[in-house]
Amino acid sequence: MNKQYVYFYGFGKKHTEGGTSMKPILGGKGANLAEMAIAELPVPPGFTV
């Protein structure tokens, strides 16, 4: 059986992973939401898989 990996990047007020430098991995929306969370703009917590 082959191993499969799932990459999980979360964002919110207390902890944010990612940003615009990770746009190829997170996609445009995921990267921009992470950047907004880093800038402490009102973004609901979420994640990108």
pLDDT > 80? residue 1: no
Decide if 2 is inside a domain. no
Domain count, the chain: 1
Residue with tokens 């907004």: 36
Pairing label, strands 9-11, 46-48: antiparallel
pLDDT score at 17: 87
Quote the CA–CA distance of 42 and 33 in Å, as a whole number. Answer: 10
Domain boundaries, position 20: 9-48
pLDDT score at 8: 87
> By three-state DSSP, how is residue 7 classified?
coil
pLDDT score at 14: 85
Q: pTM for the full model?
A: 0.76
Quote the CA–CA distance of 48 and 25 in Å, as a whole number. Answer: 9
Quote the CA–CA distance of 11 and 34 in Å, as a whole number. Answer: 6
The tens digit of pLDDT for each residue in 3-47 reads 888 888 898 888 888 888 989 989 999 999 999 999 999 999 988
